[in-house]
Structure 1
Amino acid sequence: MALKISAAAIKNPTAVIACIVLTVVMGLGYIYKLPVQLVPDVELDRITVYSDWPGAAPAEVEAQLLEPQEKLFGKLSGLANLEASATFGRSTIVLTFAPDTVVENAMLELVNSLNSIPNYPDDANEPVVVVGAGSNATAISWLSIRPAEGNSALVLDSLNLIEQVVQPQLERIEGVASTRLIGGRKRVLAIEVDPYKAASFGIEFPRLAQTLARNHNVSAGSIDAGRRKLSLRLASGYSIEQLRQSIVARNAERVVRLADVAEVKMDYAKPDGVFSENGGTSIAISVQAVKNVSVLDVMDRLNKVVSVLGEGVLKQNGLTITQVYDETVYINDAIEQVYANLALGIVLAVAVLWWFMRRFQATMVVAFCIPLTLFSAFILIGALGRSINVVSLAGLALAAGLSIDAAIVVFENVLRHFHKGGNREKASIVATGQVTGALIASTLTTVAIFLPIIFTEDTTSQLFSDLAIAITATVVLSLLVSITVIPAILVRLKSVRGVSANADRFAPLWDRWTDIVMAWTSTAKRRWLWLVSLVTGAIVLSWVLIPKVDYLPQGNQNSIFAYISPPPGVSLAVAQDELEKTINERMLPYYQHHKQPYIKNYWLGFYGRYGFLGATAADSDEVDELINVINNEILKDLPDVRAYASRSSIFGRFSGGRVVDVNIQGSDTDNLMTVANAAYQKIGESLKGASVQPIPGLAFDEPEFRVQPDDRSLADNGWDRYDLGRVLSTLGDGLWLGEFFDGRERLDLKLTSSEELTPETLLNFPVVTAYGNVATLAELATAEQRVSAATIRRINGARTVTLRVVPPQGMSLEQAIAQIQQDVEPQLQPLLKNNSRIVYEGTAAALSSAIQSMGTNVLLAVLILYLVIAALFSSFKDSLYVVLTIPLAAVGGFVAIRLTNFFVFQPLDLLTMIGFIILLGMVVNNAILLVAEIRRGTSEQLQLVDAIRLGLRNRARPILMTTLTTVFGMLPLLLLPGEGSELYRGLAAIVIGGMLLNVVFTFILVPTMMQIFEAPVPLARAARSR
């Protein structure tokens, strides 16, 4: 089939030209059409369930929301992990499914499970189910809304406007998955009751709440009125004035209206979080994008909507909106960097090609394959529904030099036949046919080794599949171009004949190299010595040189993120007045360019028990310096605060791919805290410079005033625990009664107390009970001040305290895990009680799984490689000759990584490890071509030694030429720094080092093995003959 295609192309140049033009046009179209992202989408197969229960403590949330949901969710098909947390008023459950799980089916099963949960608390909201990581998804943009110049109004009071006008418009943008607000306070309709007046009128709080909560209209169906049908509707909803005049009690003396005992007014609820941008209070909006979408297009649409909002509704309300973080800045820089590397790599590859050919026209004929192949690759990438990202473009850059390997072989062989004279068309067909088999073999081996990656569904393989597809597409398409376009061009370019007519200027070098190899392998003893030393030496050196393994590179984007853990029990108001003020005072001199390194912008927020600080440097080269300033000056010496800043990871927030989650699990919470505190201290001592973040904390440090009901006393007064809870909610932050619609917006309706109570006065507070008695809370319950957990964390049903460890710069993830297991864990085991245990999760578990998956893929790739070559050569022995050259390439890869680390830290992360799989397909091509040439000689009745000599002589030039063009094509990926370079630097080092070492020793190893196993000579007899 390949020969027929080649012959048809040679005989029909018009069709070839038409295909070339069509490929260029379609390729350019796909370049502009394909979605652009930073890294490939990785399906995490997650579903997040949120359940809100206003005013509920974490312990109640755990008991009445989390545990019932966990029991049902644990039975879901394909569930791999269940992570849950209970905080004040909210439960969150993140379910992770096995890679082969159909998420839509899991979603349906989960919703059905939710519907079967009985006895939800009456005032708990319906659970919200989100496909994906929910609020943990990485934001592509952060927006900040602040008062305009001259506007003295508080931006915090604009939350309702932003929620009801701004947020919906942002979420309607095509490609936006969700948005999240931080800061501001909601406008509410507050019914502020005077408890003493209420008591004097005998008004009972639970009944008052029940009466006011019925403030809504009721649709009662319809009735017939003659020939008309009328809808039946009970208009029981109050206006604000009607609410004030509503009757709440009646006695013999008078009718008591709500206005007599309470003030109904518009008010603002306590904020859930605070946010500031560049020192000024603001409201933040984070924007998350959907999967499989062009982030650049989404950002363009987002910027247009933001501009309209800024000039429209926000300006009318005295507000401004600015973008403080834009992921596409780094994406554009990283994509441009790879394009630049690709272009420079092509120039270098063509320069090497010219160095060998020394003819401009001949060089351009071969070099023409590069752009044509790349255009074809873009078409195939688009047809497969993939995106343009740093990983896929790195794959194309890696394959750019490789794309002319087949073209060089075809070009050399065709010119060699032209030199013999005769019909050029016939000579071109014969010459192309002679090498097509070997080229198909080498191409199939490259395709075969990537099959396990392309068709495996685990997250690691999904990440690498774009790289695999890019390289595979380039190699396959370059073969098609080489056997069709190259011979078709050469037949019609008469002047190219001059290239082969001149003697090869390097011919003496190839002859000399051939003589050296034949001399080194001339005796049986030398051959066995070479074989044993090369194979065993390669294996031993690989074992010795292999570095510690990391998970994924962090990236080098200009973005800093700091996690802040405020002091135990600190209120949001105190965090704003003290921590936020102090941090802003320290940051402003760098933002105002009074101190170096300068800050371009920064943002600071506190939400619940956690805080965060984000910043970008004015000079991207000063990010590391700014991180040191933030850690050692800005966040230092804050009383009882734990904080750590690091560069944001491109694979996730905070430290993304470089974290070890040390999970301490068990049912004895006191023991968990004891072990967690010891682990926190020991890890800090063992890993100097590491960041250790306790989740949720290292102590039950949330102060609480715990009220214990007296059930008998409650019963004597006609109440139960539920009634007492509603009274306490009213006296606290307020009891939620529902929603109030004023015709323009929906407001929360809350019943609150006009008296601000303290723990000391609460128990002496008088309330009217169901029987009309006035009793103090001290008569109905007891109370004590104590501490409890602010957040309860559970993993797979077990209470858990997690220590999230970020290794220090220069230490790989594998080193950190090994050090914790060897130095820290033995000291913790004696402290574990009541079946408590230590489990390593996060990227630590993912790393272990990925290494296992990668090892399986490599072994499978080698097996596939061996079988494919055996099938193509019709010989298992010849296939073995080829495969045994692989260890030499591995040594070269490890040596290159070691040398790279002399200049810049380069761990053996998973993206770097994929370089070894790429290397498999590249280095065997040389051996395949050499073995095929030797077999061609023996098939022409040459003696084995003569066939080897001829094979070395004929293949030395094309093998060296293809190797050097490939190496120089990849060289910019290794040497040039810039945005995104961490993603592919190590990978390029592996491939370059492996190919350079392999090309030298393949010329020795293949002749050595063939002479040993084709014509074996016993060592003893060989020694006697000498």
Structure 2
Amino acid sequence: MILSDLSIKRPIFATVMILALVVLGIFSYRRLSVEMFPNVEFPVVSVVTTFPGASPETVERELSKRIEEAVNQVAGVKHVFSTSRESVSTVVVEFRLEEKVNDAAQEVRAKVASIRGTLPTGIEEPIIQKLDFNAAPVAALAVQSTGMSVRDLTTLVEKKIKKRFESVAGVGKVDMVGGQKREIKVELDPVRLDAIGLGVNDVVNGIRSENTNTPLGRITRDSSEYPLRIEGKPDRADQYRQMVISQRNGRPIPLSEVAQVSDGVEEKRKLALVNGQPAIGLDIYKQSGGNQVELVDTIKKVIAKVQKELPPGVTISLVRDGSIMTRESLSDVQDTLIIGGILTVLIVFCFINSWRSTVITGVTLPISVISAFIVMNAMGMTLNVMTLMALSLAIGLLIDDAIVVRENIVRHLELGKDHMEASRFGTAEIGLAVFATTMSIVAVFVPVAFMKGIVGRFFYQFGISVAFAVLVSLFVSFTLDPMLSSRWHDPSIHLQGKRKGIARWLELFNCWFDSASERYRFAIGLALDHRMAVMGLALASFVAGVAIFLTLESSFMAQYDKGEFQISFKSAPDASLAETENRMQAVLTAIRDFPEIDHTYTTIGAGDSGTVRDGLLYIKLRERDQRKKNQFLLQRQVRERLQQVAGLTFSIEEVGQIGGAQKPLNVNLKGDDLALLKQLAARLKNELYKVPGIVDLAVTLENDIPEYRLRVDRDKALSAGVTTSDIVGALSRMVGGEAISTFEDEDGDAVDVRVRVAADLRRNPAQLDTLKISVPDGKGGVKLMPLGSLTSTVTATSPTEINRRDLARQITVSANLDNVPIGTAVKYVEAASKRINMPPGYSLNLSGEAEDMAESFGYMAESLLLAVIFVYLILAAQFESFFEPFAIMLSLPLSIVGMAGMLKLTGDTVNIMSLIGLIMLMGLVTKNAILLVDYAKVLRERDGMDRRDAVILAGHTRLRPIIMTTLAMIFGMLPLFMAIGAGAEMRAPMARAVVGGLLTSTILTLLVVPVMYTLLDDFSCWLKLKWRGKEFAK
């Protein structure tokens, strides 16, 4: 072969090429970012529009539906979702994964702009932006104080601590949760306002006119010019009390005469707790593409520096470290890779019994792994679980080519050839077969890399990494290995019977193996004499494998112990912040005695859509070696405790799961009548309650919010000369409060000035009736009129939100799964849906994990088919035959029984990882068959050997490399197979599927492939005879 011959003749040239790969690989490794998973960009765009004061029904009718219809026309749209809440419409447009998110966002902007004129007046400008599902906080900090007031602590956090972390390189943003900012509170006294004859608008206008710094022009003096301005803004908070807001009968009216002015804090609407104690939380987000692990390390250093600068009694702590799982997973995968490499090299040493041959063979491993970093860096990949797992699984593959080449060279050395001749001839003899086996592996992983859907995005880096590493191993096997074999003479090859110590024991092992290979010669002959029986055995194995496979349960991804989980909860629909906090304290009390819990971090009202009824409890567990229970057992016990807490609905969720934090089981009911949808959802929920393992059931829109509604008497309002918007404007200021201006503090930062009626005057609807608003007096002025004379108050209920999907209303029944695979849960849902009798015009569909699983399994089936086709084409090209590849392809179905049997034995499901293992098997199991059939053809064509003798000799000769490569692959995957370490439960099914498939396919291949080869050869000869007979007849 050209490469091997060139490397043998020019050893320095070969060495330089390999060193270049290693140097480039090391430099590339240093540039790789570190992440838990590949950074996948989902083409999802949101349109958020605010309509102050509008009910969910109004928001749906006037905003959500119109925007949905517009954006649904954009090319590439997969789904359109909308959520209509009070005052806010959120429309989410999900595009097909192949669409570019920036182009999609631009198209959505254009469509929304085209209908902007049809949307109601009074709305705020729609905010259109890309959604980043990877934008989870990398860290959460908690600041606590033993003596500082809430206001002072909030000011300290906002002005110093928060800004300090915002300036850290790599930080995208920092969100503050909890605390109460400083606020100038102007609490109006309706009685005094009425006595003086002032309306709330008069007060607001008066404050705004007085609280301003206005330029007045310029003063020119001699040759100089000076700007002139008036500083009307108070420089002290107490100066607001003396601010003149109006005049009556020539008398100035100070603000203190009609309102209570105080320098206080904003209304409490958010809360953070650490182990149940008040705190101010800081959620830190990284910039896109940043290195998560390095950023958290930097944050820890900044925490240590900031702590030294804080006042006594103030502490800052890291309560949530998003890099822990990443560190542990990457560390364990790296350990797996190293251990797998060591085990693989030991297998080689056991068979070759020479440390020089082992080094020549084993040097392929580090070179291939290091070189893989080149393509990872060049293609913008990261160092993550998928790429490292790819290299870990490929350990056995990377050394396979070197094993086969070196073993063949050693065999020729034992036949008496010198090192130069043995290296040249041994590499050339096996070169085509090695090339074909490597290409069959590449042919399997390339379709994996280019699968569609979510799974394709996550496995892209996996497939590319393996394919490139395997190609590098082929290159090393054809360059460095023959060069070293020709130059570095191995005297141990000729020490048969003279070895000592462990070498002597290994020599005895190899003698035993040689005798076993002689018995294998007899077994091949016996199989050739009973070909139909052997084929019957193969068929029975395949049928058994399919039967076992069909009994396996299915899931999207195997669960694994992350050492942390979170609980999202909702209190009663009418609960206040204080009531929600009370419920949360009851939860913390219920779980306090679990020794496995390290600490808790609670937030209430956090996030853009969070209310005082919404909360999130993050639970960090102790290290695995410090607790007796795994995460899932603890979650089950926590769930049992929380079911005893009244006034609370909750859901236990994974932290940072792929695709968001929604529950795994989501059943969507679609139709137009909201009341009927609620009935159907309630019936479905009751059916699912009966199923063991389906837990945390919840229904959207299950509980409406009680509310008071003011109905405007149109006739009275018309006669009074007032509009609904006038009433809304006045009431929103008096009841809801409005930040009408700002006050500059001593640091130059803005402090809101908020106008509102005192809290004790807005506790019930009757008090609202006495509030007065300004109306025209018919004489060019205004007068005050009680609100009760224009409106009436009724009690009602309203949905918290209205959800829609693909232009139709939707209610979702969601649930968590406790030891029930998603595939089994889907079967339960399908059975339950038949019992609830969906009426015409109403439909039921699954989303979330079930939808992702069905879609991904379909794409993986396509990838499996492509892999099989590509392998066949490569084999046909190698053997220059369309028939002979079928002898090798028969080894593919023989792996099913081992793969399915192993998954059944270990209790694993058919999931993304195990299916990737099945696809890998399509390339791995052909390697052994290629070595056997290729050498049989060489013996027949080169040496003119009889077919039976050629097949038997080929099996006998290739048994050693076949067993070596198989054991190398199995032992290389053994650390993954054992599922030891962080996140190993997720990765293990892939290794288990491969190991099980390799075991059965290797055993059966050694007998079935020789038989199938002879059968196909007979069939080919029969066809030729038939063809020649027809030609002769003509």
Is TM > 0.5 for Structure 1 vs Structure 2? yes
CA offsets 1:228-267 (integer angstroms, 9 cap, x no match)? 9998989786766776555544444534443432234333
Q: Does the aligned pair in 2 maintain the 1:912–1:987 contact within 8 Å?
A: yes
* More deviation, 62-71/670-679: 62-71
* More deviation, 192-201/284-293: 284-293
Partner of 2:622: 618
Which secondary structure does the structure 1 equivalent of 2:520 belong to? helix
Cα distance in 1 for partners of 2:740, 2:63 equals 20
Partner of 2:142: 144
Residue 662 to residue 186, structure 1, CA distance change in 2 (3 Å): farther
Partner of 1:1021: none
Match of residue 203, structure 1, among 198, 202, 221: 198
Which secondary structure does the structure 2 equivalent of 1:401 belong to? helix
Aligned residues: 988
Which secondary structure does the structure 1 equivalent of 2:937 belong to? helix
So what's the TM-score if we normalise by structure 1? Answer: 0.90
Partner of 2:719: 716
Residues 141-220 of structure 1 correspond to what in structure 2 (within 5 A)?
A: 141-147=139-145, 149=146, 151-154=147-150, 158-159=153-154, 161-206=156-201, 208-209=203-204, 212=207
Cα distance in 1 for partners of 2:737, 2:708 equals 16
Structure 1 residue 68, shift from structure 2 partner: 4.5
Indicate yes or no: 2:670 matched with 1:665: yes
Which secondary structure does the structure 2 equivalent of 1:597 belong to? coil
* More deviation, 845-854/358-367: 358-367
Partner of 1:639: 646
Q: Which runs of 5+ in 1 are unaligned?
A: 591-595, 1019-1026
Partner of 2:322: 327
Cα distance in 2 for partners of 1:114, 1:171 equals 33
Structure 1 residue 216, shift from structure 2 partner: 7.7
Cα distance in 1 for partners of 2:225, 2:416 equals 99
Cα distance in 1 for partners of 2:660, 2:317 equals 21
Residue 430 to residue 800, structure 1, CA distance change in 2 (3 Å): same
Partner of 1:1024: none
2:897 partner amino acid? V
Partner of 2:483: 488
Residue 679 to residue 310, structure 1, CA distance change in 2 (3 Å): farther
Partner of 1:843: 849
Partner of 2:793: 783
Partner of 1:38: 36
Structure 1 residue 64, shift from structure 2 partner: 5.0
Residues 460-859 of structure 1 correspond to what in structure 2 (within 5 A)?
A: 460-496=455-491, 498=493, 505=511, 506-522=513-529, 526-535=530-539, 537-539=541-543, 541-546=545-550, 547-576=552-581, 578-588=582-592, 590=593, 596-607=594-605, 608=611, 609-620=613-624, 621=627, 622=629, 623-633=631-641, 635-645=642-652, 647-648=654-655, 650-651=657-658, 654=661, 659-695=664-700, 697-700=701-704, 702-737=705-740, 739-742=742-745, 744-754=748-758, 755-771=761-777, 772-809=782-819, 811-822=820-831, 824-830=832-838, 832=839, 835-859=841-865
* More deviation, 623-632/916-925: 623-632
Residue 166 to residue 214, structure 1, CA distance change in 2 (3 Å): farther
1:935 partner amino acid? K
Cα distance in 2 for partners of 1:675, 1:177 equals 44
Residues 14-33 of structure 1 correspond to what in structure 2 (within 5 A)?
A: 14-33=12-31
Indicate yes or no: 2:277 matched with 1:277: no
Structure 1 residue 270, shift from structure 2 partner: 2.2
Partner of 1:133: 132
CA offsets 1:144-186 (integer angstroms, 9 cap, x no match)? 1211x4x1422x6644553454444434433333333322233
Aligned-pair identity (%)? 24
Q: Does the aligned pair in 1 maintain the 2:45–2:92 contact within 8 Å?
A: yes
So what's the TM-score if we normalise by structure 2? Answer: 0.89
Match of residue 397, structure 1, among 392, 415, 423: 392
Partner of 2:364: 369
CA offsets 1:546-572 (integer angstroms, 9 cap, x no match)? 312211233211002112121221111
CA offsets 1:823-845 (integer angstroms, 9 cap, x no match)? x1123334x57x33322111111
Which secondary structure does the structure 2 equivalent of 1:785 belong to? strand
Cα distance in 2 for partners of 1:1002, 1:775 equals 95
1:580 partner amino acid? M
Partner of 1:105: 103
1:1000 partner amino acid? I
Structure 1 residue 18, shift from structure 2 partner: 3.5
Match of residue 5, structure 1, among 3, 7, 10: 3
Cα distance in 2 for partners of 1:231, 1:53 equals 42
Cα distance in 1 for partners of 2:494, 2:455 equals 48
CA offsets 1:51-80 (integer angstroms, 9 cap, x no match)? 456665544544555445434433334232
Q: Does the aligned pair in 1 maintain the 2:60–2:802 contact within 8 Å?
A: yes
Q: Does the aligned pair in 1 maintain the 2:241–2:261 contact within 8 Å?
A: yes
Structure 1 residue 860, shift from structure 2 partner: 1.4
Partner of 2:1032: none
Residue 688 to residue 900, structure 1, CA distance change in 2 (3 Å): closer
Indicate yes or no: 2:337 matched with 1:339: no
Residues 51-66 of structure 1 correspond to what in structure 2 (within 5 A)?
A: 51-52=49-50, 57-63=55-61, 65-66=63-64
2:638 partner amino acid? I
Partner of 2:71: 73
Cα distance in 1 for partners of 2:421, 2:964 equals 26
Cα distance in 1 for partners of 2:225, 2:126 equals 37
Structure 1 residue 619, shift from structure 2 partner: 4.2
Which secondary structure does the structure 2 equivalent of 1:978 belong to? coil
Partner of 1:935: 937
Partner of 1:593: none
Q: Does the aligned pair in 2 maintain the 1:554–1:650 contact within 8 Å?
A: no
Structure 1 residue 922, shift from structure 2 partner: 0.8
Match of residue 973, structure 1, among 973, 976, 979: 976
Cα distance in 1 for partners of 2:281, 2:25 equals 41
Structure 1 residue 943, shift from structure 2 partner: 2.1
Residues 858-873 of structure 1 correspond to what in structure 2 (within 5 A)?
A: 858-873=864-879
Cα distance in 1 for partners of 2:219, 2:767 equals 59
Q: Does the aligned pair in 1 maintain the 2:710–2:794 contact within 8 Å?
A: yes
CA RMSD across the alignment: 3.1
Residue 763 to residue 927, structure 1, CA distance change in 2 (3 Å): same
Residue 807 to residue 221, structure 1, CA distance change in 2 (3 Å): farther
Cα distance in 1 for partners of 2:239, 2:59 equals 36
2:919 partner amino acid? I
Indicate yes or no: 2:924 matched with 1:926: no
Q: Does the aligned pair in 1 maintain the 2:721–2:775 contact within 8 Å?
A: yes
Residue 95 to residue 459, structure 1, CA distance change in 2 (3 Å): same
Which secondary structure does the structure 2 equivalent of 1:859 belong to? helix
Residue 423 to residue 265, structure 1, CA distance change in 2 (3 Å): same
Residue 484 to residue 231, structure 1, CA distance change in 2 (3 Å): farther
Structure 1 residue 457, shift from structure 2 partner: 5.0
Q: Does the aligned pair in 2 maintain the 1:414–1:428 contact within 8 Å?
A: yes
Indicate yes or no: 2:382 matched with 1:387: yes
Partner of 1:262: 259
Indicate yes or no: 2:901 matched with 1:892: no
